Amino acid sequence: MLPNGDLVAGGSFTLAGDAAASKIARWDGSTWSPLGTGITGGTNPAVYSLAVLPNGNLVAGGVFTTAGDVPAGNIARWDGATWSSLGTGMSGVASPRVASLAVLAGGDVVAGGSFTIAGGVPANNIARWDGHDWTPLGGGLTGENPAYVWSLQVMPDGDLIAGCGFVTTAGGMPANNIARWNGAAWSPLGTGIGGSVNSLALVPAWHRARLSGILIPAIARR
């Protein structure tokens, strides 16, 4: 959702309402409209992930080579009027893609997906954009070929959780499809998940009570 409350939808469509819209469109509460000429290029272009920056700009990730009329390697930014690239984007594998996006507290963007290069820099399936350059998150997330980062979630303390598919290693440490980045190093979440982690959500902390030494959620009635 954009700061003004408008909704943006991304996917693999060419029509939104009655409007021609290539893979991405905006809903203002009554009407669909395209975002410029949208997302195009490559085989079966699509938008898989969206994130809104603190300044209201929108970042779109997916499988594509062009945003508007600008070359864009699977990730691009919409400023409300025009599209722009984020460096040279993601590449390095047969079918590179950005499947997940997250915005850190300082406004940097983290992109996850399937790639080994981000903006010309080696990065294993996850990388950070600071507004000017891409940098890897340590040794990244690796495993079977291809490995994917399907989902990202920023925690209240600023740590980042990555949900993955076919990932067995996070920054050189064993990690089964889910791992945590604390800004400096990766760590596993227990013994992980025995299959792809396609989505993540942060649940607000419940009130809790301790009964006979056991921590339990507290139940309250209004």
| Mean pLDDT, residues 7-24 | 98
Residue 47 lies in a domain: yes
Strand order in the sheet with 83-85: 46-52, 58-63, 75-78, 83-85
Residue 222 lies in a domain: no
Residue 54 lies in a domain: yes
**Predicted pLDDT at 216:** 45
> 142-185: per-residue pLDDT in tens?
998 889 999 999 999 999 999 999 999 999 999 999 999 999 99
Structural domain range at position 46: 7-217
Residue 186 lies in a domain: yes
Residue 55 lies in a domain: yes
**Predicted pLDDT at 220:** 42
Residue 206 pLDDT level (bands cut at 50, 70, 90): low
Q: pLDDT averaged over the chain?
A: 93
**Predicted pLDDT at 203:** 84
Distance of alpha carbon 155 from alpha carbon 201, whole angstroms: 10
DSSP 105-124: TTS-EEEEEE-SEETTEE-S
Instruction: Tell me the whole-structure pTM to 2 decimals.
Output: 0.91
Distance of alpha carbon 68 from alpha carbon 211, whole angstroms: 59
| Mean pLDDT, residues 18-34 | 98
CA distances from 75 to 51, 141, 165 (A): 11, 19, 20
**Predicted pLDDT at 204:** 77
Residue 192 lies in a domain: yes
* Helices (runs of H) and strands (runs of E) counted in the chain: 0, 26
> 61-108: per-residue pLDDT in tens?
999 999 999 999 999 999 999 999 999 999 999 999 999 999 999 999
Number of domains comprising the chain: 1
Contact 151, 199 (CB under 8 A): yes
